Every structure is written in structure tokens, then in C-alpha cells.
């Protein structure tokens, strides 16, 4: 994708984002809770992509995996996320096996 196409995509996102935010608020307040949650996960995945993670992974999943791998940044970020979503949230969303395997 060319830089010009990326700028065009950015402009499109700039126009659509306020509509999506209002739609998410409406869904959370009056509509389908599951739809609002799906939209929140999409924003979460976008935030993860911003920090270099895969676009299909949430920040909680990435942090949980990093905790298992022993990454120092995750030891700082996980308590902040867990304070919002509940103790153990990041580890509960990890996708890698936390138990060491015998060779």
C-alpha cells in the first residue's frame, strides 16, 4: 500500500471514528451489549497495533503472553490493566502455555 493510499485511509478513519464512538455509546446505553463489547475489542486491537502488536490481538492478551515470557514491561502494565478489569485479567487472556515443558 502506498503512502498516499495510507493517508487516504487515515482520512476515511478520521471521518468514520466519531460515528463509531457515538454508535458504541448508543449500543452500550440502549442497544446490544455484545455489539458494544465487540466494538471495544476492535478499539483495543487497534491500540495494540499502535504499539507494534498484531492487529488481531488485544492489549490484555499481549500483556498476558509477555508476563509468561518474563518481559519487564508487562510486569508494569499488567497491574494497571488488572486494576480496571479484575485481578488476573491479563493472564486469563494469555494464549501461550504458562507451564514449562520437559524436554
Q: Tell me which H or E stretch contains 92.
A: helix 89-92
Quote helix, strand, coil % in the chain, to nearest 5.
70, 0, 30
Directed axis angle between helix 59-69 and helix 72-85, to 10°?
Answer: 140
Distance between CA atoms of 99 and 103, rounded to whole angstroms? 13
Q: Give me the pLDDT at residue 97, please.
A: 82
pTM for the structure as a whole: 0.79
Q: How many CB atoms lie within 10 A of CB 92?
A: 13
Q: In the prediction, which pLDDT does 99 show?
A: 75
Domain segments of the chain as ranges = 1-31, 33-103
Averaged over 7-11, what is the pLDDT?
Answer: 94
Amino acid at each position: 500500500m502506498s503512502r498516499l493510499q495510507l493517508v487516504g485511509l487515515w482520512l476515511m478513519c478520521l471521518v468514520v471514528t466519531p460515528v463509531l464512538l457515538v454508535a458504541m455509546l448508543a449500543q452500550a446505553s440502549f442497544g446490544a451489549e455484545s455489539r458494544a463489547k465487540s466494538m471495544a475489542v476492535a478499539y483495543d486491537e487497534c491500540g495494540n497495533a499502535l504499539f507494534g502488536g498484531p492487529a488481531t490481538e488485544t492489549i490484555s492478551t499481549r500483556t498476558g503472553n509477555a508476563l509468561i515470557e518474563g518481559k519487564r514491561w508487562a510486569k508494569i502494565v499488567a497491574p494497571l490493566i488488572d486494576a480496571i478489569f479484575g485481578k488476573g485479567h491479563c493472564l486469563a487472556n494469555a494464549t501461550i502455555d504458562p507451564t514449562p515443558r520437559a524436554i
